[in-house]
Amino acid sequence: MRATQGRKATVTLFLVLLLSGALSLYFLQLKQTSQVLTLADADPWEGLTPGSIELLLAVAPFSAGTSIVLSNSLTGSLAGLTSLAVAVGTVVAERRQQERVSRLRDRVIDEVASNPGIHLRELHRSLGCAMGALQYHLRQLELGGQLVSVKNGNARHFFPSDFSSDPQTLRLASYLRSPVIGAILELCNTNDRITQADLSRTLSMDKSLVSYYVGQLIQEDILNTVRVFGREKPLVLTDWAHLALVNLTS
């Protein structure tokens, strides 16, 4: 409702400014070949002293007829008022733009706070704003120290600035945004040792896909393998990852 009223007010202000500017230009361009009409009879208006009221009878550049306009001093005043109206309109428009920017940034901060580790595409879908505007505001919020981000593969994940100062913890939290990786890490956390074959059976997932994700987690020093003679090497969480996972899921 407020947005509709704001748009109506903006359109109305624009039309008023446009009409004022057009009238000002029209008056300034009128030929100043005129004669002064003196109205000495002021009796019909009670309370006014007799005198002369100057009206400028000017011939407009149109062939439609004759127009009566105010004197040059009043025309100048009209031009000044038009300039003032334009200035006020500019200030109002700038304030409204600042309010829109502030509202969008507040929405971004709230969404990231509610979903730590959310990546750019998720944030774009959730807010429904233009991608270019979202990227701009995210950069500004990072520069202002209100958000931090970490890149994981092709995706950049965003966190509140007070979420963690440890880059490894941020990367682990970004991995937890993936349902598959989250399930793998949960099983590794609840089982002292677990093999890839166990993960494949428990999650009903192809072994090659399990191997792909496990390889990523080993490379990130989140998982490690245990040497066992004659058997498949079981997986365990590294010490820092186990502690960080407990803190993140508690």
pLDDT at 125: 94
Q: How many domains does the chain have?
A: 3
Interatomic CA distance for residues 155 and 44, integer angstroms: 82
Instruction: Flag whether 80 is in a domain.
Output: yes
Q: Are residues 84 and 136 in the same domain?
A: no
pLDDT at residue 78 tops 50: yes
pLDDT at 100: 65
pLDDT at 98: 59
What's the domain range around 14?
2-40+48-98
Let me know: does 180 contact 213? Beta carbons within 8 Å. yes
Q: Are residues 32 and 89 in the same domain?
A: yes
Q: Are residues 121 and 207 in the same domain?
A: no
pLDDT at 227: 82
Q: Name the residue with higher pLDDT: 171 or 102.
A: 171
Instruction: Flag whether 131 is in a domain.
Output: yes
Q: Are residues 212 and 156 in the same domain?
A: no
Instruction: Flag whether 104 is in a domain.
Output: no
Instruction: Flag whether 107 is in a domain.
Output: no
Average pLDDT over residues 190-203: 92
Q: Are residues 190 and 229 in the same domain?
A: yes
pLDDT at 51: 46
| pLDDT confidence band for 67 (50 / 70 / 90) | very low
Domain harbouring 228, CATH code: 1.10.10.10
Instruction: Flag whether 110 is in a domain.
Output: no
Give tens-digit pLDDT for 129-188: 999 999 999 999 999 999 999 998 889 999 999 999 999 999 999 999 999 999 999 999
Q: Are residues 15 and 91 in the same domain?
A: yes
| pLDDT confidence band for 54 (50 / 70 / 90) | very low
Q: Are residues 186 and 151 in the same domain?
A: no
Average pLDDT over residues 12-37: 54
pLDDT at residue 50 tops 80: no
Interatomic CA distance for residues 62 and 55, integer angstroms: 20
Q: Write the CB contacts of 65 (distance below 8 Å, at least 6 apart in sequence).
A: none
Instruction: Flag whether 108 is in a domain.
Output: no
Nearest residue to 242 via CA among 170, 182, 176, 188? 188
Residue type, 21: G
Q: Are residues 203 and 235 in the same domain?
A: yes
Q: Name the residue with higher pLDDT: 41 or 216.
A: 216
Q: What is the mean pLDDT of the chain?
A: 76
Q: b or e along 105-129 (b: 16 or more beta carbons within 10 Å of the residue's beta carbon)?
A: bebbbeebeebbbbbbebbeeebee
